[in-house]
Chain A
Amino acid sequence: MNTIPNMNFSRRRFLQTSSAAALVIVGGALINQQEAWGLETKALKPESMQTLIQMARDIFPHDRFADKIYAVAVKGYDDAAVDDEALKGIIEDGISELNQLANNGFDADYINVGWESDRNALLKQVESGPLFQKLRGDLVVSIYNNHDVWAMLGYEGESFSKGGYIERGFNDLEWL
């Protein structure tokens, strides 16, 4: 996975009404043409994976993170769901419930609800449910333990192999 794509973010955001719009489903695969990656699902419906990616972004929204960051964070569920019917049930049932709520309130599936605040209101309704609880708990590790994320947030990671920061700016703050 690459780090920040070298492109104009404000322009990109302007062109993209929601991140999900950049994702299209072709056969059993999710394709993100702008970011040049694809993801084939094995156990979950591709629409479910698309919804998980959107939920992940809505739970931990970082506008400068590409969809790929969120896709990587939830991809493991599809692998695990191959042999884990219970997990598959939690995901598919949770998404059905969310889409039901979205259709009741906005006449659209979750990913097609246009404003984040509206999607947040939907998530609030399922916040205590098993899918949300699992997603939030897993994502707080899987997103923030991603080295590409570290780089974007300005965290340099391991330093022992470079001799620590004794010669590399442990006290370089000058603005005070």
Chain B
Amino acid sequence: MYVAVKGGERAIDNAHAWLAEERRGDTDVAELSVAQIREQMALAVNRVMAEGSLYDPDLAALAIKQSRGDLIEAIFLIRAYRTTLPRFGGSNPIETEDMQCDRRVSATFKDAPGGQVLGPTFDYTHRLLDFKLAADGEAPQAPSATAPTEPTPHIMSFLDRENLIQTEKTSETTPDDLTRKPLELPASRALRLQSLARADEGFILGMAYSTQRGYARNHAFVAELRIGAVAVEMDIPELGFAIDIGEITVTECETVNQFQGSKTEPPQFTRGYGLVFGMTERKAISMALVDRALRWKELGEDNLGAPAQDEEFVLYHSDNIQATGFLEHIKLPHYVDFQSELELIRKLRREAQDAMSQEAAQ
């Protein structure tokens, strides 16, 4: 039972005012600018763009500032803003083949044409705190080398020479959009990929890790991980042709997975796919592993009952805004509900006591 209550406006206003003051912190310390966050907290900005489902580094940086660095709160702000935008249309699928790669590595094909390019990676750092960063003023310069002019084709296409890799279905239909129509199960692969691309990084990481540890193990290797800029092209009706309307940085991960064959498919290598806004490689690899685990049905694999195979479990619990909304609402006033719970408990106890005293009397 709910009973409407009024009041608390002054407390709320003052709480907001204090929040604003706390956000600013000690005024003896210089204020962060949005540009500083965008440039120097770029990976946080990328995560907010990916999970907020809106590529706009300035807005993501502003959201991080406003949310005091609480990234889920920042994602919430971006999701809310996103809903206010009129939708001009959908782009043509981005051509990751044409990416200008900042990073491009393969665990399966070391001599890949185009080479292995490490890019600005944490991979080989020693994870020792660098106290030099605590002092200001450093502006490090990276060395340069002559850039190759050859293209960097997808490594999977080289591995596929013997046709030992499962092919992907192509289709030109407009994919369903879960931000427009509620997610219904069973979900198409397009819907699963959209859901995973905006899913909480921590949740997807945990799911992916569970497949590695043996819950629906699918033996994934990174065929290719590439990070870089791609153009976004859209058909413009008033022009009658397509133009580039922007350029975005994305992370793409293709996994190749061992596969013994099933009732319906011959033994072959299968694939998992991850594609995420920004430089977000932990998320992209995780996405590829979970994508592969969710494909058990189409590949004729057994349902092992593993969490990562359960599309309802994965898709309905991976969105951190839905999750946080439902989770955090339980801290808001529930006095009235609790009153009725109390009444119920008292009544049950009274009945139990009456029954006991009747028994005693007999």
Q: Do A and B associate with each other?
A: no
